[in-house]
Structure 1
Amino acid sequence: MAHHHPLPAAQTADLAAALQGGELPDDPSRLIDLIGELERLKSLACAVQAEAAVAYDAARRSAESAQGVPLRRQGRGVAAEIAIARRESPHRGQTLLGLAKILHAEMPHTRERLADGTLSEFRAILLVRETACLTAEHRTFVDEELCADPAALEGVGTRELVARAKRAAYEIDPASVVRRARNAESDRNVTVRPAPDTMTYLTGLLPVARGVAVHAALGRDADALRAQGDPRGRGQLMADLLVARVTGAELVDDAPTPVPVLVNLTMSDSTLLGGHAPGQVGADGVAPEILPAEIARLLLTRTLNAEVGAWIRQLYVDHTGRLLGMTSKQRFFADGLADFLGQRDLGICRTPFCDAPIRHRDHVTAVDHGGATTADNGQGMCEACNHAKEAPGWRQTTVDGLRHSVETITPSGHRYRSTAPPPVGWREPRWVKESPGVYTLVA
């Protein structure tokens, strides 16, 4: 995208201020016009962001090359910088930077359709994904076929757009599409992520034949059990059968699994004794989930009644809600400190806008630079963010405050602050002004 004059950030800030301070029109027809124009503006902003990302990546690589940084390490951390600036996760930042580079180098017509509002950023990402198996030359050809004429996309839904991209890719290079399908099998995996109400989504990415076979087998056996009088629903039985066959647990409700796992159930003492403050449950690799006090007590009761290994550890909090320490019986100091950081950061990576589960315990100030292995100099991070901050130009320091705070300074000089969340069930102290100069502390 060519600009004939510099585009300062202040100019876009003025536009944002004008939009925020403006009044909506009274005419319903003009309201629809406004909605449509704002959608086009969003797409244009995404196109400009993409060009800015490409330019920043090139500038960073050029500067690092001049500094003697090895080629394979140049540009490390750029995607994370873009993610923070866009208030997105580092994984999303990788996707957005990859999109920007491909639009700039290989798919100029898709970039133009994004700029004129014919395509949204989401739909542009889908086109890039569906042509990923093609060479740059073939990808450019498909880009021209699908997006050179903006009128050709008028009224085209997302599903039809993806189908067009798949057909075009197969027609121009069927062998590459076949190779992509074969290579996709190497990406098979099983993931787990939190779901509402203390549930989890266990997802298996499998070749289509195997995935359908697993689902069919679970459905067939669930139907057989229902025919024998089992009162559980078909979906419930399929889920219970899956757990039983993978872990060896008995096929009964709430049966304990013979596979040892550590699940952290955190609640305040008042909640444990009948209060209403919420609790929190989480496990290694699974982001914590807030749950009602009654459910937290019920889970604790079930655990104790099931006679599984369980112990209670105390967390110590000061009057500001800052987590100070925890008991460490049956723990080495290193493990106890790692557990403390996980509890203090509620199991979530401390990088701003990243919501990935903690994988690494990291020194805010590196040991090589004199950083100590202490709670104040420690933080929980995901693997991607921990690697990103090792790129040249990244700095982090702890900041004095009521709760543990870390300031991240990126190579561009921008500063972002991350503050540890308050412990589960904590209510921020509030001061109410009673009279001139007189304040009362309330919960």
Structure 2
Amino acid sequence: MFPTDPAAEAARLVDRIAELERMKAAAAAEQAHATVLLDRARRADEAAKGVPRRRQGMGVSAEVALARQDSPARGSRHLGFAKALVHEMPHTLAALECGALNEWRATILVRETAYLAVEDRQKIDVEMCADVAWLHGMGDARLTAEAKRLAYRLDAEAVVRRARRAESERRVSIRPAPDTMTYLTALLPVKQGVAVYAALKRAADTSMDPVRGQGQIMADTLVERVTGVSTAEAVPIGVNITISDEALLGGGVEPATIAGHGPVPAGVARRLISDAVSAGAKVLARRLYRCCGTGALVTSDSRSRLFPKGLAELIDLRDQTCRTPYCDAPIRHHDHVVGSARGGATSFDNGQGLCERCNYVKEAPGWNATSVLGPDRHTVEITTPTGTVYRSTAPPLPG
């Protein structure tokens, strides 16, 4: 057998990569069609059953998210994306089907025209995607800039209204980062964001600290100015750390869990607790009992309709984030798996932590949830209107 020509083999592989990329784009277009058809079928079925119009289709985005193995928020965005493509942007959809656009670039065009009137959105759809050859070689930044330029030319007032609305959505969020770090993100109006960054940079530029770099000084200055402490190291912690007694007292290595962050090495958790004590913070230790081998917390019952504070905290420690599969949103509601109106107990086994969106979707027509009791960790079975069953199992406690 003659050896393969390396140049020919490389060309074949490049062609295969390009072909697969086109297939991915075509699949995304087909998925958009299927999503719109599901929404249409679900609404028609619920209308026939007498569901009020305002509640029709309430759970579709959650069904889409579960099918895509995605979070509910992204499922909602995908539903809006699919409707826009199928109903209002046929040229963008066609470009996606033939692979001239990938799913992300099609999403950019949908996003940058979302606030326009339908007729203006369709004009941009024609101008940018009717001739797909014009899209070749265009990067994300250029595509975004061109869509914004056309939008401003068609409806400048809409652009201004969008900017004003965006200011009302300013917020601060937090999410875990690798190596026991955290991303603290602030979404601010441009003038405020630039001013904050400039103040932090000015503090770093005027510092005579020979040890810390500019980024470290800016980060420490942010902590000091927001918390009011004299140095960033002096900040006392006020978080729930779940750690085994062996890891806390005996030097064990089983990871601990920080509420809102996730697993951290035992040594890091011990240092956080030690630093909190040194800073004069109040440290409260509470014993939790778990089943050996599974990490499951023991049950705790209540006759109250609402979950008492202690029971709610146990649920938070057990579930850590929203229990809907693929949803990593913070827990906002403490929910009865089997509703109280159907006889569900206010108990540890029948309780779950959910985000606000997932709690409301759970009450949509055709949805059902049950607790699966057994020797394993706490499991909830979620059944969608199509009869598809998804399982959500709580993570184990450390130790």
TM superposition score normalised by structure 1: 0.83
* 1:326 CA drift (Å): 8.4
Q: Matched residues, percent identical?
A: 54
Residue 264 (structure 2) aligns with: 291
Q: 1:379 maps to what in 2?
A: 352
Aligned partner of 2:365 among 374, 392, 395: 392
**Distance in 2 between the 1:327 and 1:109 partners?**
57
Deviation at 1:304, TM superposition (A): 1.9
- What amino acid is the match of 1:180? R
* Matched pairs, number: 386
Q: Deviations over 1:145-194 (max 9, x none)?
A: 00011111111111111111111111222222122122221111111222
Q: Aligned equivalents of 1:232 and 1:32: distance in 2?
A: 46
Give the corresponding residue for 1:356.
329
Report the alpha carbon displacement of residue 222 of structure 1 after superposing the two structures with TM: 2.8
Partner residue in 2 for 1:279? 256
In structure 2, the residue matched to 1:316 is 289
> Equivalents in 2 of 1:66, 1:153: separation in Å?
44
Distance 1:412 1:73, change over 3 A: same
The offset of 1:137, in angstroms, is 0.5
Map 1:97-112; keep pairs closer than 5 Å: 97-112=79-94
1:256 is displaced (CA, Å) by 2.4
Code of the aligned partner of 1:280: T
1 CA distance for matches of 2:283 and 2:81? 47
Within the candidate set 29, 40, 48, 2:11 is matched to 29
Q: Distance in 1 between matches of 2:271 and 2:277?
A: 10
Give the conservation status (yes or no) of the 8 Å contact 2:297–2:397.
no
Q: CA deviation at 1:112?
A: 0.8
Q: Provide the C-alpha distance between the structure 2 equivalents of 1:275 and 1:243, rounded to a whole number of angstroms.
A: 31
- Amino acid corresponding to residue 237 of structure 1 in structure 2: I
Shift in Å at residue 206 of structure 1?
1.2
Alpha-carbon contact 1:314-1:326 (below 8 Å) kept: no
Q: Secondary structure at the match of 1:315?
A: coil
Q: Could you say if the C-alpha distance between residues 60 and 80 of structure 1 is closer, same or farther in structure 2, counting changes exceeding 3 Å?
A: same
Which residue number corresponds to residue 181 of structure 2?
199
Distance 1:306 1:371, change over 3 A: same
Match of 1:243 among 186, 205, 223: 223
- Matched with 1:418 is 392
Which secondary structure state, in structure 1, belongs to the residue aligned with residue 240 of structure 2?
strand
Residue 5 (structure 1) aligns with = none
What residue ranges of structure 1 are gaps of 5+ in the alignment?
1-25, 426-443
1:11-410 alignment, distance < 5 Å:
27-224=9-206, 226-227=207-208, 229=209, 231-250=211-230, 252-256=231-235, 262-272=238-248, 273-282=250-259, 287-325=260-298, 334-345=308-319, 347-401=320-374, 402-410=376-384
Q: Secondary structure at the match of 1:325?
A: coil
User: What are the Cα deviations for residues 386-408 of structure 1, in whole angstroms up to 9, with x where unaligned?
Assistant: 11111111000112341111110
Q: Does structure 2 conserve the Cα–Cα contact (< 8 Å) formed by 1:315 and 1:323?
A: no
CA distance in 1, matches of 2:68, 2:29: 13
Letter in 1 for 2:379: S
Q: Could you tell which deviates more after superposition, 317-326 or 380-389?
A: 317-326
Give the C-alpha shift of residue 343 in structure 1: 1.3
SS of corresponding position for 2:186: strand
- For 1:246, the aligned partner's letter is V
State the SS of the aligned residue for 1:243.
Answer: helix
Distance 1:296 1:308 in 2: 15
8 Å CA contact retained: 2:335, 2:353 = yes
Question: SS in structure 1 opposite 2:283?
Answer: coil
Q: So what's the TM-score if we normalise by structure 2?
A: 0.92
CA deviation after TM superposition for structure 1 residue 358, in Å:
1.4
**C-alpha separation between the residues in 2 aligned to 1:69 and 1:333?**
30
Q: Could you tell me which amino acid in structure 2 is paired with residue 314 of structure 1? A: R
Q: Please give the per-residue CA displacement for 1:36-83, whole angstroms capped at 9, x wherever unaligned.
A: 111111111111111111011111111111222221111101101100
Indicate if the aligned counterparts of 1:313 and 1:327 stay in contact, CA closer than 8 A: no
Alignment partners' CA distance in 2, 1:234 and 1:167: 36
Aligned mates of 1:117, 1:240 — CA distance in 2: 47
1:210 alignment partner AA: Q
Contact 1:348 1:356 in 2 (8 A): yes
Contact 1:192 1:202 in 2 (8 A): yes
Deviations 1:304-343 (A, max 9, x none): 2222111111221112314233899xxx981111111111
Q: How far apart in 2 are the matches of 1:377 and 1:249?
A: 42
| Structure number with higher relative contact order (C-alpha < 8 Å, ≥ 6 residues apart) | 2
Three-state SS of the structure 1 residue aligned to 2:347 is coil
Code of the aligned partner of 1:234: Q
For 1:202 and 1:106, the matched residues in 2 are separated by 37
The secondary structure found in structure 1 opposite 2:364 is: coil
Q: For the Cα contact (< 8 Å) 1:316–1:326, is it kept in 2? A: no
Q: Does the 8 Å contact 1:40/1:116 carry over to 2?
A: yes
Instruction: Tell whether the 8 Å contact from 1:321 to 1:403 is kept in structure 2 after alignment.
Output: yes
